[in-house]
Every structure is written in C-alpha cells, then in structure tokens.
Structure 1
Amino acid sequence: MPTILVVDDHEEIREALAEILEEEGHKILQAADGLQALEVVASSRPDVILLDIAMPGMDGLETLRRLKDQPESSNLPVIMVTAQGDRQNMVKAVQLGVRDYVTKPWEPGEVEMCVNWALKAASVVPNQDPPLLAQSA
C-alpha cells in the first residue's frame, strides 16, 4: 500500500485530500507545515508528497528545496497542490524538481491521476493505469 504525505496548513484541505486518496487504497500521513513535513519524511519515508506552497513558517517552495537537497529524499515525487497558480511559483517549483502541479480547487479525479502517475513513474505501482478525468466528472 503506497504511503502519501499530505502537507497543508488547512486541516480541511488535508482531510479532503486524505479522504480522496484513502478511497484509492493509499495510506495517508499528514503534516501542517514544512518543518513537520521534513520530520515526517525523515521518520516515515512516504512514496509521494502533496505539498501546499502558502504555509506559515517554512513555505512549500522552501520545503521542496530542502527535500531535494537531502540524498534520502531527493528522489521522492512531490506534487504541489496549491491555490498559488501563478507562473512564477510554477517555474520555481519546476526548477526545484516538482513532479506535478495541481491548483486549488482541483478537478474531480485530478489529484488521483497525478498521484497514480507519480507512483507509476517511481515504480511503486508498476501495472496500475491512472484514472481518467472523464470517468470522475
């Protein structure tokens, strides 16, 4: 069972993402900020990280930079899930090595598709096809 870390300072967003991904059969870990996310990654080694940008303290871009700077987490797929859909943040995230970028509010099936693609690319679920967006709409 793949493990997904959901990082967002808003509990209702974390819970919504957790519910969606638990229905897909994933184990969910949660963190409320970037520092807590780094601690969870160090102790639990998730398969994929969903990461918000706008968080108090350490924002998602700094968290992503630190994850990619550490050898033990540099290859972890990170998907930004954020209301910050501006081009500047997207470019920064891509330069830092983000796997995918989802803007809030996300479309039905979008998060599941991105997570499944990330897992497939990381060979965590090698024979699982991602859900189609049209099936969820």
Structure 2
Amino acid sequence: MATILVVDDEHGIRDLLSEILNDEGHTVELAENAAQARNIRQQLRPDLVLLDIWMPDTDGVTLLKEWSSTGLLTMPVIMMSGHATIDTAVEATRIGASAFLEKPITLQKLLKAVDQGLNKAVPPPKVAATPLLAPQRLPGSEVTVEEAMTMTLSAHAVGLNGATTFNGAGLANLPLGPQPQQTFNLDSPLREARDEFEKAYFEYHLAKESGSMTRVAEKTGLERTHLYRKLKQLGVDLARAKRGQLG
C-alpha cells in the first residue's frame, strides 16, 4: 500500500485521517505544520499528501507553490479546508493540486480522492493563470461540489447533452437542466462567473429533484443549513424551484 503524509494543524483531524487510512492498509505520516511537512517530504518521499490550506506558520497553498517551483511536486497533493474561498481552491488546482476536499470530509469522499490520487499520474505544475473554461460532460454523470468549487471539470462538465461551445466573445453555451441552453460570460471577473455557474448548478439540481432540499443536499454533498445559506446568497428562488419552473 501507499505512504501518505497528512498535514493539518488540528490534532483531532490528523488522528482521524490517520486511523481511517491505516485501516485501509496505508502507512501514514503526520505533520502539524509546513516545517514538519518539508522534513518528511524530503526524508520519505510519500506517495500522496493530504494538505490543509489554513495553517499557522505557512499556509498549504504557499507550501504547494514552493514544492511546485522547486521540482518537489512529484506526488499527488489533495488540498483540504473548511474555510477556503473558491478562489483559493482554484489557485491550488492551477498550481498542481490533484483534488480539493471541503471539510467536514466524509469517509466516502476521502477514500475516493485518495484512491484516484494514487492511481493517476501527477499533472505538470500549472502556475500560469488559465481561463475558466467549461469542458465536455459525459452523459449521465454528476458534478460534485468539490468539482464545482475548483472548476476542475475535466471529465464531468456541467451540461447534459454533448459538447460545450464557445464563441468569439468568450461565451460558453451549456445545455443545463430543463432549459435548452445556459450562457456564461467567461470575460467577467472570476467571482461573478463562479456565482453564475453555482446558481445554475443548484437550480439544475433543484429542478431535477422537484425542489426537494433533502435530495439536493445529498446530491451536492452539502448540509441542509449550508445549502439554504448558499441558495439565499446566490439569490435562488426556492418557491419557484418547488413548482419545478426553474430555467
């Protein structure tokens, strides 16, 4: 099995992840800060790293960038955070993170991310900024909230029926839910484009589940209270969703 380095300043999280991964047969090394993580990385060369973003000395994104710029990002790195903004998650994936897990992390998502990380090659570092594009989606696949946050929709784009098209003005026309097409302005600021995408994402799932907040929470991986807060923030019309008239 693999050697996995868990980097998190919270003792309880380190112990929990260590227990879960040990039960799966992995060898687990623990670090509570970036300094310890550097030493373990140099001595043991782990097969995969679970890296918290917010740490007291050096944050996880800075450590990831350091490894990438010095040629030490030779293993998959899965970022973790309960407080990071989507912009931070996007930056981490551009630098070279293989995945992003939002805390609290479920057992299923943890094991899936670790398994995927251990079974794919490390992509080349992506330090340079890249435009926010919406790629193609495989028919019948689902977009997870982590994919929506990091915008890494390589095999799971946001439409339902075929290719995403782009015109010269930088617009993406996406088949989404019950409406024939959804248009995103990719020339807008990242935060605005992200909000447009998230609103369409949640409206699609609300329409698909006939306004059932319980099923939408299960589909998107959010707690109901977090989901209500997110929908209110995005200005989603819940009454309209329950009538199944979104789009």
TM-score range, shorter chain: 0.7 to 0.9
d(CA) in 1 for partners of 2:70 and 2:49? 15
| Cα RMSD, aligned residues only | 1.4
Counterpart AA for 1:114:
A
Aligned partner of 1:21 in structure 2 is 21
1:130 paired residue number: none
Q: Give the structure 2 partner of residue 102 of structure 1.
A: 101
User: Post-superposition shift, 1:35?
Assistant: 1.6
1:32-81: per-residue Cα shift (whole Å, max 9, x none)? Answer: 0112111110011000000001100111011111111222x222100011
Structure-2 separation of matches of 1:121 and 1:4: 15
- Report if the CA contact (8 A) 2:64-2:73 is conserved: no
**Contact 2:6–2:49, Cα closer than 8 Å, also in 1:** yes
Deviation at 1:19, TM superposition (A): 0.7
Q: Secondary structure at the match of 2:119?
A: helix
What is the match of residue 74 of structure 1? 73
Residue identity opposite 2:94 in structure 1 = Q
Higher relative contact order (CA closer than 8 Å, sequence separation 6+): 1
Q: Give the corresponding residue for 1:37.
A: 37
Q: Residues 8-31 of structure 1, C-alpha deviation per residue, up to 9 Å, x if partnerless?
A: 001110000111111111000010
User: Relative to structure 2, which stretch is displaced further, 80-89 or 25-34?
Assistant: 80-89
Deviations, residues 61-120 of structure 1 (Å, cap 9, x unaligned)? 11111111222x222100011113421111111111100000100123111110111111
TM-score (norm 2): 0.48
Considering only CA atoms, is the larger Rg found in Structure 1 or Structure 2? Answer: 2
Equivalent position SS for 2:97: coil
Q: Which residue of 2 aligns with 1:92?
A: 91
Structure 1 stretches of at least 4 aligned residues deviating more than 3 Å after TM superposition: none
Uncovered stretches (5+) of structure 1, i.e. residues with no partner: 124-137
Identity of aligned residues (%): 36
Match of 1:46 in 2: 46
